[in-house]
Amino acid sequence: MEYIKLIARMPADASPEQTEETARYFDNCGADELYYYDAQSFEEGKEEDIKIMQAICRSADIPLNVCAKVKRFEDVKKMIYAGAKRVFIKTESEDNLDAVKEASDRFGADRIYLYLEMGNSPDMESCLLRSRKAVEEEGFGGIVLAGDFMDSSYVQAADFLKVKLDVPVFIMAETVDAVVTADLLKMSMASGVVLGCPEKVSDFMEIKQYLKTQKLPVNTFETAIAFEDFKLNSDGMIPVITQDYKTGEVLMLAYMTKESFEKTIATGKMTYYSRSRQELWTKGDTSGHYQYVKSLTLDCDNDTILAKVAQIGAACHTGSRTCFFKELVRKEYDDRNPLAVFEDVFATILDRKEHPKEGSYTNYLFDKGIDKILKKVGEEATEIVIASKNPDAEELKYEICDFLYHMMVLMADRGVTWKDITDELAQRH
């Protein structure tokens, strides 16, 4: 089924930290995608926007759309490499059409959309001509319409273009109201709608549940196995093991009834049944430490659920990250995660950058600047080549570690993270 995408508009004047927090919030509360546009910075060509895009993509698992006035292919490439799924391009003149065509050929037309601003009474014929030329000749793979979203001619234009051109058409809407959004989408055949979200006030799962009652195709959680097919305990409940969706850390064990399971599916927030209080409880309603559902999996016997969640704050009522912290017995073993080791070393390098320490070799490199860092990376790469000719691999191990350390200093200096690297490798794989 083709779902209507609900796209949350990111604030353009927030700090990088606020931007990351907002991106995580919209991801957790059910938005399908994100939208970012900072007109002033794009027009001035500031690099800060690229850093903000990277921060958004680091913080959220859902796709990012970026709106921009581009002049060169390099502008589009930077946004795609920063993590943007699509670039919405304004073409007020034709001086950037070569860049558009090159970007379309390089990355695919489905990632390059025409951003078309419409007046209060759009001329349907001229709108069609401009859009048809964009799709058939200039390399655009979709259309984004901006205008008076409740004007019937604006909605008709969206339908007209989607039917005539057979490409996705997104519309801009200055609202987060579920009823208004439903009215707009019932009038339209839009593939997606960008909802204005100036503050963190929008629970997209609530909006989707209302749109679902209006027979609109939206992407919500749907269980593949009915609760009636679960094997319940003697109290009519099923145990749920909850773990962090990224680290795999086991956070807690609780129980669900049919009602709490259905509320979890509807809201996207973990809701359990308290056996001591004899009532439903949504984790986080009191503490703010919500658990946002990433996946629910039933075991082979249908009698236990494994929930993978994005945990906000602490899972345990004691304030501990996990409820499982009372060690009973332990045998020494190596449980080091390779990526965790990289992240720990990288975190130390970043800390040295932010809080210089006298006598630190890392700070010496940062103080000397990029040329010194690059020189050391080159030298260590050469040392790897030389060590590789030695039959004994021990020396090679040491040289690789030296190279990786200096490479991480370079990453920290240039603002590249391990997540950026692993995401790129995963995409290539």
Q: What is the DSSP string of 134-163?
A: HHHTS---EEEEES-TT-HHHHHHHHHHHH
Residue 56 identity (one-letter amino acid):
I
Task: State the pTM of this model.
Answer: 0.82
pLDDT digits (tens, 9 = 90+) for 261-306: 999 999 999 999 999 999 999 999 999 999 999 999 999 999 999 9
Bigger pLDDT: 426 or 120? 426
Task: Please report the DSSP string for 281-304 in residue order.
Answer: EETTTTTS--EEEEEEEE-TTSS-
User: Three-state SS for 51?
Assistant: helix
pLDDT, average across residues 362-391: 94
Percentage of the chain beyond pLDDT 70 is: 92
Which pLDDT score, from 0 to 100, does residue 184 have? 78
User: Which range (36-50, 143-157, 353-367) has the least confidence?
Assistant: 36-50
Tally: H helices and E strands in the chain? 15, 14
Non-local CB neighbours of 256 within 8 Å, separated by 6+ positions:
237, 238, 240, 264, 271, 272, 273, 305
Residues 5-51 pLDDT 10s:
999 998 877 777 888 899 999 999 999 999 998 655 555 555 667 88
- Please, where in the chain does CATH 3.20.20.70 lie? 5-213
Q: pLDDT at residue 154 above 70?
A: no
Assess whether pLDDT exceeds 60 at residue 198.
no
The pLDDT of residue 235 is 93
Residues spanned by CATH 3.10.20.810 within the chain?
227-311
CATH 3.40.50.2000 matches 5-213: no
CATH class given for the domain over 227-311: alpha beta
- In the chain, CATH 1.10.287.1080 covers 338-428
Pairing of strands 5-9, 112-117: unpaired
| pLDDT of the residue at 324 | 94
- Measured CA to CA, the distance from residue 191 to residue 169 in angstroms comes to 6
CATH superfamily of 338-428: MazG-like (1.10.287.1080)
pLDDT tens for 61-99 read: 999 999 988 888 888 888 898 889 999 998 765 667 888
